[in-house]
Homo-oligomer: A and B are copies of this chain.
């Protein structure tokens, strides 16, 4: 092992309170309640191919599309999340539920291996006729990821066998040879699942199939054109108007701007980074870097939300980042974490880890409520109180993206290679790796993300030389570190965002890293028109927001933060098991003397007020009320 690879989540014990609480909530509440919802909404029943098919729960829309075509994927994602949970602790009840699903899938599978419950039940003669819209390979991808996770958690391979048969069918169906379809999925996902299957099995053919789908995408004649014609439709009648929607507007290596549906883009870029690594494909790596720069420099919310527009669930223009209408689908932030982790393992550069962390704390975590049973699909940065978490969704993709991420979050903390161990995230974990042939117990202790005081204990079985790399976040200023109490010259030791220490380590060694976490004011690029004159508050990796419940007296949008007001850091043991809030003297524009006027020529009165901000990921856990990230500066 020459290159850094993530240490798998099963090998990382979450010991810090922050992540233990989230993990426990997901294990205890989210996974079981999601199974209940899958049942309640007819998704589990659909696997039994009931005859006659029940009426559609979600009638086809004007584009003849229904979200029911991707119900299989919801099942796959739930199996994946539940299997990650099983990796933490086995649970006979959950396993029985998964086995029941596998029974259904086994019965449903066609003799030739094909397995898509929508088509098998409702349109058996229309298989593979609408890859553009109907998520057929996407469904397989998610089922496959579920099967791999279940196999790794339990050693049971029945579901994996079923899916491998299906993959073989797909391999026969798609490819450049006569009689094969030169197609690929309208919603990318199968590609990264196939890379996972390759990594599990070592079978190169899976990698090749993933590469085929990526390389074929956007080539001419365009597959979705031909497919539409074959259906008797005009290609130009595609509802999304442009193949930018699914990133097939041109071959992937010619793409330089991030466009279209955000989740599709992020899944595709994740697969591209996977393939760049596995195939040492430099052009694919370079493409990923160009696209990364594009999204990070002009298309990402401060919360790491991606895709401002509901119309295409995706990207629009550079700097188009409206706050209250932000779509910023939870899935897109989760998928950004996937992509960032992969980029980080192409090049150990803290820029990628910074985004991964930002997306984790401010994008993905926000998607799951404190009680573990309510969700955000879209993630606005400004609300008048009408935006609330829901218990389920027409399109429940985000629910299981939140649970599968959190149930496997330990896998994003540490990476190891022959001679190096690298810490990307902090928050209290322990693990054992092999470095330079020696087993090394590692423990990281901190109250991260609320404190930047991090202690790393390093316990090799015997004294051994290797390198420890500690991420120094891009937001951290005035960082100090010491080894066994001896100060380290941080400036000299940091490269690409990682403090790197090579020495002979022995049991009892420890590193202390201090990442100061003052409250910070953050400003957006002046081209983000909504944020001119506005400021956001951050501390450490956390983006803050003001929520009306902490700031009574009217909508929080009436608060203005004077440019010179000091923002104080306050520990609040009484809130959410202990968090840190930010407070400042503020001004509130006052409505009392407005009578029935909507407009007037005298400015509103300003009254002195206090402002309390809490981490954005926690908003809307105490009822509906107004919320704002970007605060008017006075």
Contacts and interface: CB of A to CB of B under 8 A. Distances in A.
A590 interface: yes
A598 B525 contact: yes
Contact of A526 (B382, B525, B558, B633): B558
A383 to B, nearest CB: 9
A284 to B, nearest CB: 22
Interface string A561-585: 0010000000000000000000000
Contact of A600 (B523, B594, B600, B603): B523
B523 A602 contact: yes
Contacts of A320: 384
Contacts of A633: 533
Interface stretch (A206-214, A253-261, A291-299): A291-299
Contacts of A634: 533
A599 B523 contact: yes
| Residue of A322, A520, A628 with most partner-chain B CB within 10 A | A322
Nearest to A559: B532
A628 B530 CA distance: 11
Contact of A382 (B297, B384, B529, B601): B529
A355 to B, nearest CB: 11
Contact of A522 (B557, B560, B591, B600): B600
A482 interface: no
Nearest to A543: B599
A597 B533 contact: no
Interface in A484-537: 520-530, 532-533, 535-536
A98 interface: no
A382 to B, nearest CB: 7
A582 to B, nearest CB: 14
B600 A297 contact: no
| Residue of A59, A522, A523 with most partner-chain B CB within 10 A | A523
A599 B525 contact: yes
B317 A384 contact: yes
A599 B526 contact: no
A439 to B, nearest CB: 42
A217 interface: no
Contact of A524 (B535, B555, B599, B602): B599
A386 B530 CA distance: 15
Contacts of A324: 322, 529
Contact of A554 (B59, B322, B520, B526): B526
A589 B601 CA distance: 26
A301 to B, nearest CB: 9
Contacts of A526: 554, 558, 589-591, 594, 604
A634 B562 CA distance: 11
Contact of A523 (B293, B302, B554, B604): B604
Nearest to A558: B526
Interface string A595-634: 0111111111000000000000000000000101000111
A519 to B, nearest CB: 11
B317 A532 contact: no
B529 A626 contact: yes
A201 interface: no
A336 to B, nearest CB: 14
A79 interface: no
Contacts of A59: 62
Nearest to A523: B603
A431 interface: no
A300 interface: yes
Contacts of A530: 557
A603 B561 CA distance: 14
A325 interface: yes
Given A523-B604, A527-B554, A560 B589 contact: no
Contacts of A61: 62
A525 B555 contact: no
A600 B293 CA distance: 16
Contacts of A598: 296-298, 300, 319, 524-525, 528
Given A382-B529, A384-B529, A589-B532, A601 B523 contact: yes
A597 B603 CA distance: 34
Contact of A317 (B302, B382, B386): B386
B632 A591 contact: no
A259 B319 CA distance: 34
| Residue of A384, A557, A598 with most partner-chain B CB within 10 A | A598
| Residue of A302, A384, A520 with most partner-chain B CB within 10 A | A384
22 contacts: A296-B596, A296-B598, A297-B597, A319-B598, A324-B529, A325-B325, A522-B600, A523-B599, A523-B601, A523-B602, A523-B604, A524-B598, A525-B591, A525-B594, A525-B598, A525-B599, A525-B604, A526-B558, A526-B589, A527-B591, A528-B598, A529-B557
Interface of A: 59-62, 293, 296-298, 300, 302, 317, 319-320, 322, 324-325, 382, 384, 386, 520-530, 532-533, 535-536, 554-555, 557-558, 560, 563, 589-591, 594, 596-604, 626, 628, 632-634
Given A296-B596, A525-B597, 12 more contacts: A61-B62, A300-B598, A302-B599, A382-B529, A522-B599, A522-B600, A523-B600, A523-B603, A526-B590, A532-B557, A533-B533, A533-B633
Closest 8 CB pairs of A and B: A529-B557, A62-B62, A533-B632, A526-B589, A297-B596, A526-B591, A61-B62, A526-B558
